[in-house]
């Protein structure tokens, strides 16, 4: 029989929920700290076991993340949940360590223009800057992940060769970054390109330590996820209700919605540990709090079906 060989799909996927960070960082209106805290808590109650909570970046660059300390202090942590935060430099690391994250994320790019716009330095300078950050974090017992932005294309430079992405992965490996995110910052990737880029990154990182971070701007994120799954990737990042976008990638929409990702994975018989109904309710709740449409198609469909069933039951 032709078609997908289910035996080659992973039995389990670990999702890193990035909604509180990637999802909210681009919100134009200040989101109250207590809403951010409640979002994290609802996500962990829905079964997410890795959550990117906030970032320790310049508040002049990203004002929405300025309440990082307050958010980290207020979240009631659950055992077994990994709380990650973004850190661009030593100043950010020092601030972050005070709040005891389980993991920090350094973020570099495979495109020079994006590196300059996002973190105000070249790719080579960023690696030099990250090296002592990684060393100090690991010395403090904190895990380190590295995001490679523009791995599938750049808003300023266009196409990005897979070899350039592999080069950043190699440099991350050399400074002690433990796992990497192949990030499609502007959601332009398509499945075969995703597979080529992941194969290039896999020259330097075991696939167990590679995750897919797909924004859904062109509607390709689930197809890209499936392409990565078929290669053996089993770590993915997503944002509840499809929130978000990067402030330095104009026009880019949010990450793939976690609800849509979970629906796909459960449909493939892959375990995520996530309660889709509780997640969908969280997506509806945060969308209402932000006054935006809910970007999770599976979330909307599931809640509409539940509402219809409840209405039908009350008529009986």
Is 17 a binder of Mg ion (CB under 5 A)? Answer: no
Instruction: Classify residue 219 by burial, with Cβ atoms within 10 Å: 0-12, 13-18, 19+.
Output: exposed
Q: Is 86 helix (H, G, I), strand (E, B) or coil?
A: strand
Is 23 a binder of ligand HMG (CB under 6 A)? Answer: no
- For residue 42 the two structure tokens come to 């609802």
Is 137 a binder of ligand HMG (CB under 6 A)? Answer: no
Is 292 a binder of ligand HMG (CB under 6 A)? Answer: no
In whole angstroms, how close is the CB of 101 to Mg ion at the nearest point?
Answer: 18
In whole angstroms, how close is the CB of 57 to ligand HMG at the nearest point?
Answer: 3
Binding characters for ligand HMG, 238-257, by CB under 6 A (x = yes): --------xxx---------
- Angstrom distance (rounded) from CA 37 to CA 238: 18
- Angstrom distance (rounded) from CA 163 to CA 202: 11
Which partner, ligand HMG, Mg ion, none, binds residue 245 by CB below 5 to 8 Å per kind? none
> Do the beta carbons of residue 191 and residue 219 sit within 8 Å?
no
- Angstrom distance (rounded) from CA 210 to CA 146: 10
Is 116 a binder of ligand HMG (CB under 6 A)? Answer: no
Which partner, ligand HMG, Mg ion, none, binds residue 89 by CB below 5 to 8 Å per kind? ligand HMG
Question: Is 150 annotated in the active site?
Answer: no
- Angstrom distance (rounded) from CA 81 to CA 48: 8
Is 67 a binder of Mg ion (CB under 5 A)? Answer: no
The nearer residue to Mg ion, 22 or 281, going by C-beta atoms, is: 22
Among 24, 85, 119, 169, contact with ligand HMG (rule: CB under 6 A): 119
Q: Is 174 helix (H, G, I), strand (E, B) or coil?
A: helix
In whole angstroms, how close is the CB of 256 to Mg ion at the nearest point?
Answer: 11
Among 22, 99, 103, 181, contact with Mg ion (rule: CB under 5 A): 22
Instruction: Classify residue 22 by burial, with Cβ atoms within 10 Å: 0-12, 13-18, 19+.
Output: buried
> Do the beta carbons of residue 235 and residue 272 sit within 8 Å?
no
Is 216 a binder of Mg ion (CB under 5 A)? Answer: no
Is 107 a binder of ligand HMG (CB under 6 A)? Answer: yes
Maximal CA-CA distance, the chain? 67
In whole angstroms, how close is the CB of 93 to ligand HMG at the nearest point?
Answer: 8
The nearer residue to ligand HMG, 43 or 276, going by C-beta atoms, is: 43
In whole angstroms, how close is the CB of 204 to ligand HMG at the nearest point?
Answer: 18
- Angstrom distance (rounded) from CA 28 to CA 247: 10
Q: Where are the alpha helices (DSSP H) in the chain?
A: 33-45, 68-74, 90-97, 112-119, 123-139, 162-174, 191-201, 221-231, 258-267, 276-290, 297-315
The nearer residue to Mg ion, 17 or 22, going by C-beta atoms, is: 22
The nearer residue to ligand HMG, 42 or 215, going by C-beta atoms, is: 215
Is 54 a binder of ligand HMG (CB under 6 A)? Answer: no
The nearer residue to ligand HMG, 10 or 88, going by C-beta atoms, is: 88
- Angstrom distance (rounded) from CA 137 to CA 159: 33
Footprint of Mg ion on this chain (CB under 5 A)? 22
* Active-site annotation, residues: 246
Footprint of ligand HMG on this chain (CB under 6 A)? 22, 25, 55-58, 61-62, 86, 88-89, 91-92, 107, 118-120, 147, 149, 183, 185, 213, 215, 246-248
């Amino acid at each position: 029989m032709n078609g997908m060989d289910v035996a080659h799909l992973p039995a389990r996927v670990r999702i890193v929920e990035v909604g509180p960070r990637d999802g909210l960082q681009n919100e134009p209106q200040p989101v109250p700290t207590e809403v951010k805290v409640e979002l994290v808590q609802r996500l962990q109650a829905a079964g997410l076991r890795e959550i990117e909570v906030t970032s320790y970046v310049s508040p002049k660059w990203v004002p929405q993340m300025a309440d990082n300390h307050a958010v980290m202090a207020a979240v009631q942590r659950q055992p077994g949940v990994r709380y990650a935060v973004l850190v661009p430099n030593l100043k950010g690391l020092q601030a972050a360590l005070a709040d005891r994250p389980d993991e920090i994320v350094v973020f570099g790019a495979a495109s020079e223009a994006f590196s300059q716009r996002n973190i105000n330095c070249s790719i080579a300078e960023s690696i030099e800057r990250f090296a002592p950050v990684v060393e100090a974090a690991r010395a403090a017992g904190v895990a380190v992940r590295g995001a490679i932005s523009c791995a599938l294309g750049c808003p300023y430079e266009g196409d990005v060769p897979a070899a350039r992405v592999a080069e950043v992965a190699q440099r991350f490996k050399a400074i002690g970054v433990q796992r990497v995110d192949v990030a499609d910052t502007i959601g332009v990737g398509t499945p075969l390109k995703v597979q080529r880029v992941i194969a290039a990154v896999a020259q330097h990182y075991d696939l167990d330590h590679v995750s897919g971070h797909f924004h859904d701007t062109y509607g390709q994120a689930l197809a890209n996820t499936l392409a990565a799954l078929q290669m053996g990737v089993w770590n993915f990042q997503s944002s509840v209700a499809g929130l978000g976008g990067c402030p330095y990638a104009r026009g880019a929409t949010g990450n793939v919605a976690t609800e849509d990702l979970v629906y796909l994975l459960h449909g493939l018989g892959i375990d995520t540990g996530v309660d889709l109904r509780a997640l969908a309710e969280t997506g509806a709740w945060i969308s209402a709090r932000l006054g935006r449409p809910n970007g999770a198609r599976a979330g909307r469909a599931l809640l509409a079906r539940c509402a219809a069933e409840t209405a039908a039951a009350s008529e009986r």
